[in-house]
Amino acid sequence: MEGGRVHSETVNGVMSITFWHPRSNSLPAAMLLDLARTVTAAGRNPDARVILLRSEGEGVFCAGASLAELQKISDAVSGKRFFMGFVNLIIAMVRCPKFIVTRVHGKAVGGGVGIVAASDYAIAAEGAAVRLSELTVGLGPFIVGVCIEKKIGQGAFTAMAVDADWRSAEWGHQHGLYAEVHPDTASLDAAVEKRLAMLSGSNPEAMAQLKSVFWEGTENWPALLEKRAVMSGSLALSDFTSRAVGRKPK
C-alpha cells in the first residue's frame, strides 16, 4: 500500500476503521479497495452496531486521490480503474446498513470531502477546512460530487467545484457537511465518544431503516458513478492534467 494501511477493530458494539498514509492520508487504489471491503464487512458484522471512520495523525484528515497514482495513469483503462476505487468506497458507505460516524480532525481535500459527505454523521474539529481542488489539475469532482451535492445542495457544491478555494469547518457545519464542529481534538474526541455510546445502544433495525431513508434516491448511483469514473479517467490523460500532476511524457 505504498506505506499506507487500513486497520479495524470492534469494541463494545463500535467498529473503528482507521486509515493512514504518509502522504497526508492520501488514498492509493489499494487503500480505497481495502476501505471499501472493510466497510462492507462491517455492515455484515453482527458485533458492530455502529461504525467509526477516522484517519491517523494530527495533520490532514485526507488529501484525496494519490498524486503518485495519478501520475501513473497511462490509458483509459487504468484511469477508469483508479477512479472506480472512489466509486466502490462511496457505494459501500451509503449501502452499509450501519450508521457511519466520521471523525474529521484536520483538512479534507477532494476525495476526503467525498468521504465526509458519504458519512451519515460527521464530527469535526475547527481546523477541518474543506476544498475541492480537482479543477486546478484539469479534473472535476465528478464522483465525490454526487454525494457532496446530495449532502449540501447544488448551489454550495457548484461554488466549491468552481472556485476550488478553502472553506472553513464552520462553513461545512452551516451547509450540513458536518453535524458538529468542536474547538479542538480533545473536545472532538469527547463528542465522538458520546455519540458512539448513544448509537451503540440504539435499535439496530431502526438505524438501518433510517439510513435507507437518508440515502433514498441513490439507486442509480452505481451506473452513474461508473460513467463518472470513465469521464475522470479520460480527463486524467489530458495534456493539462499531465502537466499539472507532473506526469512524465511518453
pLDDT tens-digit series, residues 146-186: 999 999 999 999 999 999 999 999 999 999 999 999 999 99
CB distance 101 to 195 below 8 Å: yes
What cell does 108 get? 479534507
Residue 206's pLDDT is what? Answer: 98
- By mean pLDDT, which of 65-79, 108-122, 220-234, 236-250 is the weakest? 236-250
Edge-to-edge strand ranges of the sheet holding 121-125: 5-11, 14-20, 50-55, 100-104, 121-125, 180-182
CB distance 85 to 143 below 8 Å: no
Cross-strand bridge partners of residue 64: 26
Q: Give residues with Cβ within 8 angstroms of 38, minimum separation 6.
A: 6, 8, 17
CB distance 21 to 72 below 8 Å: no
Structural domains of the chain sorted by starting position, each given as residue range(s) with its CATH number in brackets: 5-183 (3.90.226.10)
Q: Supply the mean pLDDT for the chain.
A: 96
Residue 1's pLDDT is what? Answer: 47
CA-nearest of 118, 85, 106, 98 to 226 is 85
- Alpha-carbon span 140 to 105, nearest angstrom: 25
CA-nearest of 17, 18, 113 to 65 is 113
- Alpha-carbon span 101 to 76, nearest angstrom: 35
- Alpha-carbon span 96 to 173, nearest angstrom: 24
CB distance 224 to 120 below 8 Å: no
Residue 247's pLDDT is what? Answer: 82
Cα-based distances in Å from 145 to 157, 161, 172, 178: 7, 8, 15, 16
Residue 248 has pLDDT above 90, yes or no: no
- Which residue type, as a one-letter code, is found at position 191? A
- Alpha-carbon span 55 to 192, nearest angstrom: 14
The β-bridge relationship of strands 26-27 and 64-65 is parallel
Residue 3's pLDDT is what? Answer: 79
CB distance 138 to 238 below 8 Å: yes
Residue 17 has pLDDT above 90, yes or no: yes
Residue 250's pLDDT is what? Answer: 57
End-to-end CA gap in the chain: 25
Residue 175's pLDDT is what? Answer: 98
Residue 165's pLDDT is what? Answer: 94
What cell does 27 get? 488514498
Residue 216 has pLDDT above 70, yes or no: yes
Average pLDDT of the residues in 193-205: 97
CB distance 112 to 147 below 8 Å: no
164: left (phi over 0), alpha (psi -120 to 50) or beta: left
pLDDT digits (tens, 9 = 90+) for 134-150: 999 999 999 999 999 99
